[in-house]
Structure formats: structure tokens, C-alpha cells
């Protein structure tokens, strides 16, 4: 795949946000805030960072991308459709009976998904298992990226895996924490404080990079930096705005687990088109 | 009837050789590792106790020490399996699958990955460690999971065969092992296939369906009953899931009553599985020998088996209680 320019990537992220709104409205249930906040990271991954081939989802030299916080899967489905894993029309089957696009991702249902998730906290340990298998196979030119939510870091399983990856210096793992500061019951720091988050990861033997996770260039640069660090696993704490791109959803934890209704979807899509800088008139409706 | 090639001994009079069932697993895993380089292993700080040490010493680069972290144990296993490995992951059954059921459900069974969960020290015969370590609910927990294969070998010889068979099987699997030395009743020639139950002693009056450590007790019970004029058929069921319905039904259709025997909770265990099958397809007078909805406690293994009614004598007693049904 030829590399896209930064401007093209930003437009692609906007397309993915529109896909998310459309799918969620159509599904009538699902999570809005997380997927919108992750759109820039998934754009960077699917259209720049990952070594992958949408026509060969099981290519044995592909990089692995695990989504540990499965409820954010709409952003992954949208990024997969936009990069050609399947037709965009299939996005409208999200959460419907018989769909390959389950409400939470299932590895056996859709080629290109690497794990089944929804119950939180198990993605990093699966990444560790994959990384160990690659090491055993002397398969040293592949990367395992794993996206985690911040609320999900309440789970003990994450820290069991963090300890193991630190012990074995699993240096082909790049963790990305979606640090959007919200979880279902409210702000992360009041539900279960995570800070000092950087210090926690460092104490477990990880190299930590902190970035603006809604800046595509920063995501690409951080992953490149992460791949260059060989002595330990790397985690990128990506600060994102939940609901990013849709004004009335941004940073409101009530949008964690809700989809937009028709009226809200129309409003959100209008905003996203405006953001794209193409339909300036709509901004002043 | 097929020759089962059991040990050529009088089970009531002779002293049988005995060995912990887990020792057979250790040998089987080493052998499986030699046969297939994709066989790998991980353990949660119980490498010696679960007999994984043989493999870990032979193939250090294919062994992962997880530490005391059972949730991580099975999910790392899922990651290894997703990359084409056949991971055996071991701990005590009380901790795995005792603690990590959801991870097994989501990352192994729903993912349909060939991770082999090895739960050692199952049953009350763990002894002095007490109820916390005497896992009795593992069969129940594992057999309700779609895709999962559940095996409880009768002795160390069968455990070795079961381990080798699991290494070649493409499904998620659970292997139940015991701590104490268990009498060896099978031989290298005794058949073993995943999903098959075996008639070890033919009989016409009562069918005793048994698994794991209780198969020895069931054979001894059948000998005792024979002397009392009751002709018991012993159906050894090392695979609890998928249950060999054909063998069980053909035996039960021939006899007049059914007893199940297991060193586990009867609710949802082998007793539960057989009750479900028979209630739908061939209702029969039935009793379940096993743990009756209670926890174990500290004590010597023999004392505990006696205390909780998990011996040949107790199985025979239950058969006598069914006597009214056994007469023509």
C-alpha cells in the first residue's frame, strides 16, 4: 500500500468517524465515545503503521493488532472496511443476527480479527502469548500492537500480563492505552484512580511514551519510536478526547455506551462533514 | 466384548502398583513435545507439582513460567495457540480452571483455540491441604463450555495416553489430574480414544459409570457385588465431554439400574451429565456417588474418601439400595 499524506490520513479518519456514526445509528445500540476517540489511532494503524494485506488477512508475516477493549470494535470494523477487508455496506449489519460484525469482536467470525474480546483485561496477555510464540519461531520481524482502554486497566489480568512482558522483555509488543479518562460509572480518576499511570507501567518494566492520541502524526511517530526500543516492551499512553469530532459527545461519559438516535446522527454527520472542510455552509445552520 | 487389557491382577486381593495420575501427564507431555515442536507449555508456579518439570527441562525455550497468575496463564495460552502452538497450561485445578473461568470461556472456547488446561490436585484426595485446594467443581465448570473437551484419566498410564491424544486434538481441552498415588488398572494395551467410554467389566444387573480415580473403586465394587450375587457392568468414562452416549445407552438398556461414581460434585459432574442423557433418552433408576453439594476438609486421603463415601464399599452399598429394581 502506498503511504498516504497526513492530510489524506486526516480525511480518512473523518470517513471512519462518519462510518461509526452511521453504523451505530443503524445498529440502535453500541458504544459511541470510545470508537470516535480512537479513530485517529486506528487510521494511523491501518493506513500507515501496520504491515498487513486486506486481501490476505491470514498472511503469515502480517503484524498483529489486538483490540483488548472489545466494545470499541466499531472503529476497527470501519477501519477494516475502509482499507478493503470487506465492503463498506456490510458495516450496516453491525449487531444484527447472522452478521460477521458481532457487537463485540469474535475472531472466528471475521477474517482479520485477531482476538475475541469484550470481557476486559485479556488482550495484553494474548499479545504476550503471541509475542512468545514469535520468539519461539524465530519470527523476529513482526510486531504485536494491542489497544487497551484506560478503564480496562482496573483489571488485574492486565497487570499480570504487564509483569510477564517485562520479565521476558517482549520487545515486539507495542501497547496503546486509550487514555480518554472516562469509564461507565464516570471519570476514571473517581471510579478507580489510575495515576501515576506512566510510573505504574515503568515500574512493571515498560518504556512509556505519552502522546496526543488524536494527532495522527504523533501516533505514527510514537510507534516508530516504540519499534526502535529493543530492551523492553513499549506502551504508548495516548491521550484522546472521547467522542472526538462530534461536539455534543466529546468528553461526556454518558456517551460511553450509547448510540446516537436518528436526529443525533444527522447532527453528528453534519458536524463531521463540516470538519472535513468541504461543506462550510452547514457549519452555520 | 473387546479385550480391555487391564492389569492381570485380582483387584480385591493383590497389591496393585500405584502412581500419581499427574506423573503420567508429565511423561505424556514430554513425549508430545518430542513428537511435535509446536507443543509448548506454561505453568503458574507449580511446575514440579504438576509434573511439567520434565518438559521444562527438556525444552526450556518452549516453556513459559507465568508466576502465580492463573488468569494470565490461560490467556497467554490463548495467544500462543492463536499463533499455531499447542499450549499445555498447568496449575492446581482449584486455581485453573477455578479462578479463570471467564478467560477460558472467552479467549479459548469462543476463540476455539487448542489450549489444553491441565488441572492437577483435583478431588478430596488432595488431603491435608483442605477444602480450598480440593477442587470438586472443575468437571462441572468445564463441561458446560461449548467446544471444550473434558478428560479425567483413571490412572497414570491412561493419563499419558490422554495427554498425547489431547496434543493431537484441535479442540480446547481440560485434563483433570489427582495428587495422590492411584492404583494402576490399565496397561499400555488398554484402548484410549477421546470421546470413548469403555466397558471394563461386563454385567447385566447394574451399570456403574465412573471416571478418574473412582474407576478403580468401581472395579473393586463390581468384584464385591459379584460375590453378593449382583452382576455389575463397569463403564469407564475418561472423556466426560463429549460424552460417549452410544456406549452408555447400550449398557443402560441392558441393565436395570445406573450408578455414577466420581471424585467431584455430582451436580453438573459426570453424574449430572449421565442424568441429563438418561432423563431424555432412557430413564432408569439411578444414584450418583460423589460429593453431594458440600466442600471437603483436611484429613488423610483415605480417611476423606471414607468420610465422604467415595470408596468401593460405598458404591457397593448404593447398588444394594437399588436391589428392588435389580430383581426380575
Q: What is the pLDDT of residues A52-79, one digit of tens each?
A: 999 999 999 999 999 999 999 999 999 9
Domain of A137? Answer: 6-284
In a domain, A172, yes or no: yes
Which residues have CB under 8 Å from B279's CB, separation 6+? none
The 10s digit of each residue's pLDDT in A75-91 is: 999 999 999 999 999 99
- Of all residues in chain B, the percent with pLDDT exceeding 70 is 99
Q: State the average pLDDT over residues B150-175.
A: 98
- Sorting pLDDT into bands at 50, 70 and 90, what band is A193? very high
In a domain, A75, yes or no: yes
Mutation for A interface: B79, B116, B170, most A CBs within 10 A: B79
The pLDDT, as a whole number, for residue A283 is 45
Q: What is the pTM of this model?
A: 0.96
- Sorting pLDDT into bands at 50, 70 and 90, what band is B272? very high
The pLDDT, as a whole number, for residue A176 is 98
CB B186 within 8 A of CB B153: no
The pLDDT, as a whole number, for residue A285 is 44
Q: Where are the domains of chain B?
A: 18-183, 198-326
In angstroms, rounded to a whole number, what is the distance separating the alpha carbons of residues B27 and B164? 9
In angstroms, rounded to a whole number, what is the distance separating the alpha carbons of residues B289 and A188? 50
Cβ A133–B67 below 8 Å, yes or no? no
Q: Is A150 helix (H, G, I), strand (E, B) or coil?
A: coil
CA angle (A22 as vertex; A21, A25 as ends), nearest 5 = 80
In a domain, A258, yes or no: yes
The alpha-carbon radius of gyration of chain B (Å, integer) is 19
Q: State the average pLDDT over residues B248-273.
A: 98
- Sorting pLDDT into bands at 50, 70 and 90, what band is A273? confident
Query: What cell does A61 get?
Result: 508475516
Cβ B110–A116 below 8 Å, yes or no? yes
Q: In terms of pLDDT, which residue wins out, B48 or A253?
A: B48
Residue with cell 436526529: A263
Mean of the per-residue pLDDT values of chain B: 97
In angstroms, rounded to a whole number, what is the distance separating the alpha carbons of residues A70 and A115? 9
Cβ A129–B78 below 8 Å, yes or no? yes
Q: Are strands A182-183 and A173-179 parallel, antiparallel or unpaired?
A: unpaired
CATH architecture assigned to B18-183: 3-Layer(aba) Sandwich (3.40)
* Catalytic position from the list B37, B61, B70, B263: B70
In a domain, A1, yes or no: no
- Sorting pLDDT into bands at 50, 70 and 90, what band is A284? very low
In angstroms, rounded to a whole number, what is the distance separating the alpha carbons of residues A107 and A88? 19
Q: Is the dihedral of CA A35, A177, A257, A54 positive or negative?
A: positive
Which residues have CB under 8 Å from A195's CB, separation 6+? A189
Strands (E), chain A: 64-67, 144-149, 173-179, 182-183, 186-187, 207-212, 234-239
Cβ B106–A157 below 8 Å, yes or no? no
Please tell me which of the candidates A114, A134, A156 has its beta carbon nearest to residue B71.
A156
Residues in chain A: 285
Please tell me which of the candidates B62, B79, B112 has its beta carbon nearest to residue A126.
B79
In angstroms, rounded to a whole number, what is the distance separating the alpha carbons of residues B138 and B115? 16
B193 is catalytic: no
The 10s digit of each residue's pLDDT in B134-151 is: 999 999 999 999 999 999
Q: State the average pLDDT over residues A165-180.
A: 98
Determine the CATH number of domain B198-326: 3.40.50.920
In a domain, A161, yes or no: yes
- Sorting pLDDT into bands at 50, 70 and 90, what band is A3? confident
In angstroms, rounded to a whole number, what is the distance separating the alpha carbons of residues A119 and B105? 10
The CATH number given to whatever domain includes residue A211 is: 3.40.50.970
The residues with which B174 forms a beta bridge, in sequence order, are B117, B150
Q: State the average pLDDT over residues A112-116.
A: 97
The 10s digit of each residue's pLDDT in B209-236 is: 999 999 999 999 999 999 999 999 999 9
> How many separate domains does chain A show?
1
- Sorting pLDDT into bands at 50, 70 and 90, what band is B1? low
In angstroms, rounded to a whole number, what is the distance separating the alpha carbons of residues B238 and A257? 45
Q: Is A285 helix (H, G, I), strand (E, B) or coil?
A: coil
Q: How far is CA A282 from CA A149, A267, A279, B231, in A?
A: 33, 10, 6, 88
Amino acid at each position: 500500500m502506498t503511504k498516504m499524506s497526513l492530510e489524506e490520513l486526516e480525511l480518512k479518519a473523518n470517513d471512519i468517524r462518519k462510518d461509526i456514526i452511521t453504523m451505530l445509528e443503524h445498529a440502535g445500540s453500541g458504544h459511541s465515545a470510545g470508537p470516535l476517540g480512537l479513530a485517529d489511532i486506528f487510521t494511523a494503524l491501518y493506513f500507515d503503521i501496520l504491515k498487513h494485506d486486506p486481501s490476505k488477512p491470514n498472511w503469515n508475516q502480517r503484524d498483529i493488532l489486538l483490540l483488548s477493549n472489545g466494545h470499541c470494535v466499531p472503529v476497527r470494523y470501519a477501519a477494516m472496511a475502509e482499507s478493503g477487508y470487506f465492503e463498506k455496506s456490510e458495516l450496516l449489519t453491525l449487531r444484527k443476527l447472522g452478521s460477521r460484525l458481532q457487537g463485540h469482536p469474535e475472531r472466528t467470525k471475521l477474517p482479520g480479527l485477531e482476538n475475541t474480546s469484550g470481557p476486559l483485561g485479556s488482550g495484553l496477555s494474548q499479545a504476550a502469548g503471541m509475542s512468545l510464540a514469535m520468539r519461539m519461531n524465530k519470527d523476529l520481524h513482526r510486531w504485536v500492537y494491542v489497544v487497551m482502554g484506560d478503564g480496562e486497566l482496573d483489571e488485574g489480568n492486565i497487570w499480570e500480563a504487564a509483569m510477564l512482558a517485562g520479565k521476558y522483555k517482549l520487545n515486539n509488543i507495542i501497547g496503546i492505552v486509550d487514555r480518554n479518562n472516562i469509564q461507565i460509572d464516570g471519570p476514571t480518576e473517581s471510579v478507580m484512580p489510575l495515576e501515576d499511570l506512566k510510573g505504574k507501567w515503568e515500574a512493571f518494566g515498560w518504556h512509556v511514551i505519552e502522546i496526543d492520541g488524536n494527532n495522527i502524526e504523533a501516533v505514527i511517530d510514537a510507534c516508530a519510536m516504540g519499534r526502535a526500543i529493543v530492551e523492553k516492551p513499549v506502551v504508548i499512553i495516548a491521550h484522546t478526547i472521547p467522542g472526538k469530532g462530534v461536539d455534543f459527545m466529546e468528553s461526556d461519559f454518558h456517551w460511553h455506551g450509547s448510540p446516537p438516535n436518528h436526529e443525533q446522527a444527522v447532527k453528528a454527520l453534519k458536524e463531521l462533514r463540516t470538519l472535513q472542510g468541504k461543506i462550510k455552509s452547514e457549519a452555520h445552520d | 466384548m473387546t479385550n480391555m487389557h487391564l492389569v492381570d491382577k485380582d483387584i480385591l486381593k493383590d497389591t496393585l502398583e500405584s502412581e500419581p495420575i499427574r506423573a503420567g501427564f508429565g511423561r505424556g507431555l514430554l513425549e508430545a513435545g518430542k513428537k511435535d515442536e509446536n507443543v509448548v507449555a506454561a505453568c503458574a508456579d507449580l511446575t514440579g507439582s504438576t509434573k511439567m518439570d520434565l518438559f521444562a527441562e527438556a525444552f526450556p525455550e518452549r516453556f513459559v513460567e507465568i508466576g502465580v497468575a492463573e488468569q494470565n496463564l490461560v490467556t497467554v495460552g490463548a495467544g500462543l495457540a492463536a499463533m499455531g502452538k499447542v499450549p499445555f497450561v498447568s496449575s492446581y485445578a482449584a486455581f485453573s480452571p477455578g479462578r479463570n473461568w471467564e478467560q477460558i470461556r472467552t479467549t479459548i472456547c469462543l476463540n476455539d483455540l487448542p489450549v489444553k488446561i491441565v488441572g492437577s490436585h483435583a478431588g478430596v484426595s488432595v488431603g491435608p491441604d483442605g477444602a480450598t485446594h480440593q477442587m470438586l467443581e472443575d468437571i462441572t465448570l468445564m463441561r458446560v463450555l461449548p467446544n471444550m473437551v473434558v478428560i479425567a484419566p483413571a490412572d497414570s498410564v491412561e493419563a499419558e495416553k490422554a495427554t498425547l491424544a489431547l496434543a493431537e486434538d484441535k479442540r480446547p481441552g481440560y485434563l483433570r489430574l489427582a495428587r495422590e498415588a492411584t492404583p494402576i488398572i490399565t496397561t499400555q494395551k488398554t484402548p484410549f480414544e477421546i470421546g470413548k467410554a469403555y466397558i471394563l467389566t461386563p454385567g447385566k444387573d447394574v451399570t456403574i459409570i465412573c471416571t478418574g480415580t473412582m474407576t478403580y473403586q468401581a472395579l473393586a465394587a463390581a468384584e464385591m457385588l459379584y460375590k453378593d450375587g449382583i452382576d455389575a457392568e463397569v463403564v469407564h468414562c475418561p472423556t466426560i465431554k463429549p460424552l460417549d452416549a452410544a456406549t452408555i445407552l447400550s449398557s443402560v438398556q441392558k441393565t436395570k439400574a445406573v450408578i455414577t461414581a466420581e471424585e467431584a460434585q455430582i451436580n453438573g459432574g459426570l453424574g449430572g451429565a449421565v442424568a441429563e442423557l438418561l432423563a431424555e433418552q432412557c430413564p432408569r433408576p439411578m444414584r450418583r456417588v460423589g460429593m453431594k453439594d458440600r466442600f471437603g476438609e483436611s484429613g488423610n486421603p483415605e480417611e476423606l474418601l471414607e468420610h465422604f463415601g467415595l470408596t468401593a464399599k460405598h458404591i457397593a452399598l448404593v447398588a444394594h439400595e437399588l436391589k428392588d429394581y435389580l430383581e426380575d
